[in-house]
Amino acid sequence: MDKIVIRGGKPLSGRIPISGAKNAALTLMPCALLTDEPLTLRNLPRLADIDTFGHLLNNHGLSTTIEGTHPDEFGRVMTIRANRITSTVAPYDIVRKMRASILVLGPLLARAGEATVSLPGGCAIGNRPIDLHLKALEHLGAEIELAAGYVKATAKGGLRGGKYVFPLVSVGATENAVMAAVLARGESVLENVAREPEIVDLCNCLRAMGAKIEGIGTERLRITGVRDLHGATYAVMPDRIEAGSYACAAAITGGEVELVGASEADLGSTLDSLREAGVEVTPTADGLSVKRLNGLRGVTVSTAPYPGFPTDMQAQFMSMLAVAEGASLLTETIFENRFMHVPELSRMGADITVRGRSAVVRGVAGLTGAPVMATDLRASMSLVLAGLAASGETTVNRVYHLDRGYERLEEKLSAVGADIERIGDG
């Protein structure tokens, strides 16, 4: 397993290109199942999860063609063709590698009238049930059966429009429901839907394919089903979590970085909390410029569905606040086990106390490098950030977690002055 070695203490300076958003790409790719015409996605990040999703779509009989981009360029172009769906089964050995595989459920049901998808199971950060996905689809006329670790969904005679009020906000369940409703017979009203920018990206892509969706970006979507969708070419939005992560890198190292392609609107409350912590964020012609003014200040942050502070930024923020002046209170309201970075940060000298869903972070003068273990995607990034600021050498093990969500991380950080290298185990 590869590891990453960082020799910290160098302020970052320069430009970091922000890649296409992983969590947008993972809901745009299954849209190809909804039409027999080609869907071309631009600005796709080179990430393990994207490749895994491509293999999943191949398993359903779709072709995925990467159009020629120079290996050094960011932003792949992929054309996905679903003129024939040869299998409606998403097997365990693929789904277990990537939970987002569950996002083929809605589109397969909508297009083929059936789907058999392995239950994704939990992951490091929590149990992550899919009950809301299933309830929403039942309200669109699906019959759901659970057997032998699989969801077997059918919609004899096709899905029909329905009304569903989500009892709690779920990004994935919203995405499955929207991708099903666009081909359902009649009108659907989905209430208390997720409003993340990735949902807006999904709705905009579906509209480009001929879907009829009103209320995009609000908590209420009204969808009028159409008989067919056509192909389209669509560019994936920039990754707001990658951008937020590198903003924390600039802040924690006391540097100044331009995040090329980052969008102020998408980063919403993350920027508010960065500014509250003493970080200057300024829109530029190409993106956002981020620099630490003086010392960092402790803040209180509670994760929440968009437009609240994103749970995917919690671990990275904690690293930054570990070296702030004063204390911070971080509360994780979305997932039940998303503090696994805490013991590793503590080994680097951070002063963090966890009580249930909240963590008190008392700022320390500095961190010291150490060998640390990555446990999940965003926890891994928080350890990289700590390593960038720490004195001495930090070795982050199990970096395959990082490769799921950060395209060419060490290249992007080296280019702005970080002393970072990847060591393969041969």
Residues in contact with ligand EPZ by CB under 6 A are 23, 26, 100, 126, 128-133, 168, 170-173, 194, 311-312, 334-335, 377-378, 405
The 3-state DSSP class for residue 287 equals: strand
d(CA 64, CA 83): 12
d(CA 247, CA 275): 11
CB of 120 to ligand EPZ, least distance (A): 9
The answer to whether the Cα torsion of 257, 262, 264, 268 is positive or negative is negative
CB of 409 to ligand EPZ, least distance (A): 14
CB of 197 to ligand EPZ, least distance (A): 11
Out of 123, 203, 205, 248, the active site residue is: 123
Q: Closer to ligand EPZ by CB, 64 or 382: give it.
A: 382
123 assigned to active site: yes
CA 31 to each of CA 119, 131, 210: distance values in angstroms, whole numbers, following the listed order:
20, 21, 12
Q: Closer to ligand EPZ by CB, 292 or 338: give it.
A: 338
d(CA 277, CA 363): 12
Q: Please name which of 381, 378, 393 lies closest in space to residue 8, comparing C-alpha atoms.
A: 393
Q: Closer to ligand EPZ by CB, 258 or 376: give it.
A: 376
Q: Closer to ligand EPZ by CB, 116 or 311: give it.
A: 311
Tokens of residue 107, six digits: 């589109």
DSSP code, position 369: -
How many Å from the N-terminal Cα to the C-terminal Cα in the chain?
8
Tokens of residue 349, six digits: 């000298």
Contact 380, 396 (CB under 8 A): yes
CB of 167 to ligand EPZ, least distance (A): 9
Q: Closer to ligand EPZ by CB, 39 or 132: give it.
A: 132
CB of 47 to ligand EPZ, least distance (A): 10
Q: Go through 132-144 and write b for each residue having 16 or more CB atoms within 10 A of its CB, e for each that does not.
A: bbbbbbebbbbeb
Rounded (10°) CA dihedral 27, 29, 33, 38:
140
CB of 227 to ligand EPZ, least distance (A): 29
H-helix or E-strand spanning residue 137: helix 131-138
Residue of minimal Cβ distance to ligand EPZ: 172
Pairing of the two strands 114-118 and 89-90: parallel
CB of 325 to ligand EPZ, least distance (A): 29
Contact 248, 257 (CB under 8 A): no
d(CA 238, CA 226): 29
CB of 151 to ligand EPZ, least distance (A): 11
Tokens of residue 43, six digits: 């600005």
Residue with the two structure tokens 């993106």: 287
H-helix or E-strand spanning residue 423: strand 419-423
Q: Please name which of 98, 142, 147 lies closest in space to residue 120, comparing C-alpha atoms.
A: 98
Q: Closer to ligand EPZ by CB, 74 or 406: give it.
A: 406
Q: Please name which of 108, 113, 116, 165 lies closest in space to residue 136, comparing C-alpha atoms.
A: 165
Q: Closer to ligand EPZ by CB, 376 or 410: give it.
A: 376
Q: What are the beta bridge partners of residue 135?
A: none
Q: Closer to ligand EPZ by CB, 25 or 279: give it.
A: 25
Tokens of residue 346, six digits: 């503590």
Catalytically active residues are 123
